[in-house]
Structure 1
């Protein structure tokens, strides 16, 4: 990772897929590196066979 712990905690933001499902936290320094671990189209809305339900 290209950022240190304190910087990351102070500057992080949550990343979500196309359906709003949490993926990871990133900061400006590590965003590209962390998001490279996911498919390029992960943020596009996609079709599912089953409805996605909220965790209640």
Structure 2
């Protein structure tokens, strides 16, 4: 997938009842990350992070 910050390929190791949903547990088999700003969710808003030294004061 082009433009993603990171990915993980997992093997399912267990399923746990979560009430109205199922929680899937997994073991990471392969993973990789790109040098891009990650997507974050905070206060009902999506955004990205910047290193503190990049922020202009």
TM-score, normalised to structure 2's length? Answer: 0.19
Whichever structure has more helix as a proportion of its residues is: 1
Whichever structure has more strand as a proportion of its residues is: 2
Point out the structure with max Rg over C-alpha: 2
TM-score, normalised to structure 1's length? Answer: 0.19
